[in-house]
Structure 1
């Protein structure tokens, strides 16, 4: 029997992270689900994944903290073959209103955590000559957004990190790709904007709708598969032709 791949998904308690975790479980991966504070939601995702017949490990860690990555990896039982770096925070407002504490938290969760998670996961991937790393950026990491300068800055760093790391590890059979979604219907979006505001944004999207977490998860699952082995260092933005 073929040994199951080990996948670790950060920010897996809801939204895109939860959808990716479930999709990878359905593909036969054992999954480590990271969450910060949403323990109940994370357990619900874990139950769904276990129903697919795979091993599931729940790990709590605060990736906005300086030592968050160490908190996470100290609890991981098996080194991941697949690492999905999804954990994140939203930030909306003028640059003048950003505090140093907000800056630190945003950069820790979006930039520091992916960098050092990958650093700790890579020795295992390098030894076996195979690995998949997927970063989750945003359409604003590509083109930037007013009133979201801090968020755009962090997500732009994720794009550059992805491209550079892919060049470094491609000779070892490891791929590193970035998914940069447009507007996706998650709690992060519905919690930040009213339905009227969301409808106004949707009017600007040629596809005429928001994406779904499941659509992002389908792309992630493809990038994990062997058929995607020559796709490396790419930034793929599912956004309904909003930005192309």
Structure 2
């Protein structure tokens, strides 16, 4: 008898999943049997195409799209409400992949207050709001997973990424505390911290020289790809990862 996929019919919300790493994570979780909420903030076109890819050849839809700004508490609550209604189930898995950075790559001395606030708002406040909602609403007693994307920059501490790195360091500290506070629920909380990955956000504002340098700094001699990250998230979302809790997993090919 064929065994069922590891995430069979578990409901997963992936924020920022209309493109980049989030998109690849959503597609991967769907391939493991999960039902997906594809979250986006601006244009629905990319999100719709991800959902269509998951729903092709399915008798009943296994993916829906939901517009929500992760920095807005009402939007985050609505994201979970919509997921529960659509799939008639509690949410099992939250992956927070939504994030922004300053593509001018300013030093801290030259970072504007507006830029700092925007980055903290989406990256730190957004992760807090999503994790807070998940901690209160994910299925208890097993299979509950909170996975927050941070960055290997928290370890490499490169110049030009000050506000972004600060926002991700805050998320890593919060996750470690959250894992302890969720004692008795069966819900785990972990961070996945990619190094440079070939996404629109990575390439924005970078010269060819900067990209080449990032590739050369890696033992593999290349930039990461979204598909390098998604299987690690897939593992953390599954029952196989139950004993991994409160951890930051740096997925960067040895870059840091």
Output the TM-score relative to the length of structure 1: 0.91
For 1:124 and 1:146, how far apart are their aligned partners in 2?
A: 38
* CA deviation map 1:127-155 (0-9, x unaligned): 44540010100011233221111001001
**1:155-166 aligned within 5 A:** 155-166=168-179
* Equivalent of residue 87 in structure 1, options 98, 106, 130: 98
For 2:240 and 2:120, how far apart are their aligned partners in 1?
A: 33
Deviation of the 1:162 alpha carbon: 1.2
* CA deviation map 1:171-210 (0-9, x unaligned): 3211111110111111111223133320122111111111
Match of 1:63 in 2: 70
Match of 1:43 in 2: 48
Match of 2:229 in 1: 216
Aligned length: 243
Contact kept, 8 Å, 1:66 with 1:108, in 2: the verdict is no
Match of 2:137 in 1: 124
* Equivalent of residue 146 in structure 1, options 135, 159, 170: 159
For 1:204 and 1:142, how far apart are their aligned partners in 2?
A: 14
Contact kept, 8 Å, 1:132 with 1:174, in 2: the verdict is yes
Match of 1:32 in 2: 37
For 2:200 and 2:51, how far apart are their aligned partners in 1?
A: 19
For 2:216 and 2:57, how far apart are their aligned partners in 1?
A: 38
* Equivalent of residue 13 in structure 2, options 8, 11, 35: 8
For 1:148 and 1:14, how far apart are their aligned partners in 2?
A: 22
Q: 5+ unaligned residues in a row in structure 2: which ranges?
A: none
* Equivalent of residue 18 in structure 1, options 23, 39, 48: 23
Q: Does 1:134 find its partner at 2:141?
A: no
Contact kept, 8 Å, 1:138 with 1:155, in 2: the verdict is yes
1:237 is paired with a residue of what secondary structure? strand
RMSD: 2.1
Q: 5+ unaligned residues in a row in structure 1: which ranges?
A: none
Greater Cα offset, 73-82 or 176-185: 73-82
Output the TM-score relative to the length of structure 2: 0.87
